[in-house]
A and B are shown apart, each in its own frame.
Chain A
C-alpha cells in the first residue's frame, strides 16, 4: 500500500498569505496524484488532478507541482474561503489511498 504523508498537519496563516502544503508518497506514483479541499460539513471537492492540473472552476491561485514521490499544493494568496482541510490522493496503485490531511486555519 502506498502511504501518503502530508505536512504540516496544521498551517496557521492570514488572508493574503501564501500557503505551501506538502504530500510525500512512500513510493513513486508518477503524476497520478490529486488534491481535494474539504470544508466543515461538506464533501471533498477536487482541486488539482494529475499533480498539476486545476480542476474545472478552480481559481488560478491554486497550483500543484511535483512528480514521483514529492508533491506540493500552493495557494498563492489565501482568500477567506480557502481555510479548509486539504487531502492528497493517489490512483497509481491499489488500494487507492489518501493522505491524513492538512488543515489551513486562520
Chain B
C-alpha cells in the first residue's frame, strides 16, 4: 500500500522560503519509473500542478513558478523536499504530493494516491 504525507510550516511570512517534506512508504524512488508530483490548491479554487521529480533525479517545473522552486529527494529516508522561495499571499494553498510510476501499469502513470495535503498560509 502506497501512502504519502506532507509536512512543514502552516504559516510563513511574505518573502520567506517555504520548505515542505513529502514522506512516503510503499514505493522507492530508487526504482525505475517511480516519481512524486506536487500539486497545490488555493482555498476554494482549482488544482494546479507545479513540480515533479523522477527516480533518476530528472525534474520538471511549472514555467510560472520555475524560478522559485527546487525539489530534491532523499532515497534513504523515502522523502522528497520542496523549497519555494519568495512566498507571497497568493501562494496560500493546500499543498499535495502524489505518487506516480511511468514504468508500471498505465493506471500508475497518473497521480495516485495523494497525500492528505497541508494548508500553507502566507501572511505577515
Contacts and interface: CB of A to CB of B under 8 A. Distances in A.
Interface residues of B, number: 23
A88 B109 CA distance: 15
Contacts of A95: 49-50, 60, 62-63
Q: Which of A45, A91, A95 has the most CB of B within 10 A?
A: A95
A1 B66 CA distance: 14
Contacts of A91: 109-110
Interface in B67-124: 96, 106-107, 109-117
Interface residues on A, range: 20 to 34
B48 interface: yes
A46 interface: yes
11 contacts: A34-B111, A43-B115, A43-B117, A44-B111, A46-B107, A55-B110, A87-B46, A89-B110, A89-B111, A91-B109, A96-B37
Interface of B: 37, 39, 46-50, 52, 60, 62-63, 96, 106-107, 109-117
